[in-house]
Copies of this chain bind each other. A is one copy, B any other.
Amino acid sequence: MENEPSKLPEFIFGKLSTAEGRLQRVKTKGWGLNAELCLNPLDPAENELIEITVRVGADMAVKAVTLHYSTDGSLPQVNPENLHPSTMTLAMQRKAIEWDTLQWSYLEKWIGVIPEQPQGTHVQYAISAITTTNQVIYCPYFLNKSMDDSLLNRFSGDNQPQIYGFYVDNETIPIWLREAVIYQIFVERFAPTPGKEWSATSDLSDFFGGTIKGIIAKLNYLSDLGVNCLWLTPIFLSSSHHGYDPISHSLIEPRLGTEADWEMLVKEAHHRGIKIILDYVANHFSNQHPSFKTAQTQPDSKEYHWFRFREWPDDYECFFDVPSQPEVNSENLELRQYLISNACQWLEKGCDGFRLDYAHGLSQAFWSIFRNTTRKLKPDSVTLAEITQPPDFMRSFTGRMDGCLDFKLLELFRGFFAFNTLTVSQFERQLRQHLAYFGNSLVLPSFLDNHDMNRFLWVVKGDKRRLQLAALCQFSLPSPPIIYYGTEVGLSQLREVGRLEESRLPMLWGEEQDRDLFSFYQQLIAWRRDNNYLWRQSTQPQPLIIDDQQGVYVYGCGNYAIALNNSPQGTTVILTEGKQGSLVLKTQSEVNWDTQTGNLDLPAYGGAITRLTH
Contacts and interface: CB of A to CB of B under 8 A. Distances in A.
A601 interface: no
Interface residues of A, number: 51
A225 B257 CA distance: 94
Given A133-B546, A133-B548, A143-B1, A102 B23 contact: yes
Nearest to A25: B101
Interface string A11-51: 00000100000110111001100000000000000000000
Interface stretch (A2-10, A153-161, A479-487, A506-514): A2-10
Contacts of A2: 144
Contact of A8 (B5, B104, B106, B131): B104
A376 B424 CA distance: 54
Interface string A123-143: 000000001110000000001
A499 interface: no
Q: Specify the main secondary structure of chain A where it touches its partner.
A: mixed
B101 A59 contact: no
B61 A131 contact: no
A78 interface: no
A390 interface: yes
A41 to B, nearest CB: 15
Nearest to A107: B433
Contact of A97 (B8, B97, B437): B437
Contacts of A106: 391, 430, 433-434, 437
A426 B22 contact: no
A234 to B, nearest CB: 30
B27 A391 contact: no
Given A2-B144, A3-B31, A143-B1, A428 B61 contact: yes
Nearest to A4: B103
Contacts of A546: 61, 132-133
A26 B101 contact: yes
A81 interface: no
A533 interface: no
Contacts of A102: 4, 22-23, 26, 102
A105 B425 contact: no
A99 B437 contact: yes
B3 A105 contact: yes
A2 B3 CA distance: 30
B433 A108 contact: yes
Contacts of A349: none
Contacts of A58: 3-4
A22 B60 CA distance: 21
A463 interface: no
A144 B3 contact: yes
A332 B546 CA distance: 38
A547 B133 contact: yes
Interface in A166-189: none
A133 to B, nearest CB: 5
A495 interface: no
A132 B23 contact: no
A95 to B, nearest CB: 12
A543 interface: yes
A429 interface: yes
A129 to B, nearest CB: 13
B429 A61 contact: yes
Nearest to A2: B144
A436 interface: yes
Contacts of A429: 60-61, 132
Nearest to A134: B546
A374 to B, nearest CB: 29
A392 interface: yes
Nearest to A57: B3
Given A101-B390, A106-B430, A1 B547 contact: no
A391 B426 CA distance: 33
A61 B170 CA distance: 36
